[in-house]
Amino acid sequence: MTAPFGARLADAVARRGPLCVGIDPHAELLAAWGLTDDVEGLRRFTDAVVEALAGTVAVLKPQSAFYERHGARGLLVLEDAVATCRAAGALVLLDAKRGDIGSTMAGYADVLAPGHPMQVDALTVSPYLGPGSLEPAVRTARAHGGGLFVLARTSNPDAATFQHARLADGRTVAQAVVDTVAGWNDPGWLVGDPAPDPGAHADLQGRWGAHTGSFGVVVGATLAELDVDLDGLRGPVLAPGLGAQGGTPADLRRLFGAGRAVVPTVSRDVLGTGPDVAALRGAAQRWAAELAV
């Protein structure tokens, strides 16, 4: 079996830094690049981003919806991009926010399994059909060394409507999600994970350690305050919202401190510099440098 996702993520961060860049070819961005809103424009956009970033960024996060909207040929573009990114050493987190029950959830999770034509390293999932709904995805991830990032405390304006709702035991729904994911990161699953390769970002070892769990949560980088307890998570935090959405490296430090495995996500601030490959790479490098301070 391949090394667990948590170990591979820690290794990628140690070598490349913690930056995750979203690949979000929405219609407005295609137009801003001077591309047509069709499969050809989608492919040209994706090829440029992959060429610029796959060799240097730790995690690339394609948004499945922007490929699905172009039908089967759009998914073929995504399939090619995923394979190229992984071959270049980047981890691929498919941002699909899947959430269902039983065999349907197992079908969604197959994207984490070897032999799938679009095998990725990790998948974003939604927990709002209950903790048991995600068990098929957890089983698949464990069996094949994949990872999951579960929506927990997002920072869209009306997220608190559901995420701040209280359970009978007094916890918020968001906290119950974090606690559920923490249970999946039982230390027994981490025994024997290889330590990250101490590369250019070996200073991050204290933050990540040799045994980062493979199951993480999504917590927005633009929250006014951190209102969930992440201390027992033992896994990574995906923190979207940097750049155009208003989040800054200072917000990451304010919310998460210096002792947590955080994967900060930038999209528009990097993608907006295209279509020039050198400009895309330079923008990602500037963000990586800011996050390393």
CB atoms within 10 A of CB 278: 9
Q: Which residues contact 247 (CB under 8 A, 6 or more apart)?
A: 220, 221, 222, 239, 240, 241, 264
> Reduced to 3 states, what is the DSSP secondary structure of residue 226?
coil
Contact (CB, 8 A) for 236 and 11: no
Residues acting as catalytic residues = 97
Burial of 287 (0-12, 13-18, 19+ CB in 10 A): buried
Q: In angstroms, rounded to a whole number, what is the distance separating the alpha carbons of residues 122 and 80? A: 17
| C-alpha–C-alpha distance, residues 237 and 27, integer Å | 29
What ranges make up the beta strands (E) of 140-277?
A: 147-153, 215-219, 237-242, 262-266
CB 249 within 8 A of CB 290: yes
Cis amide prior to 275 (ω within 30 degrees): yes
* Residue reference for tokens 């998460």: 256
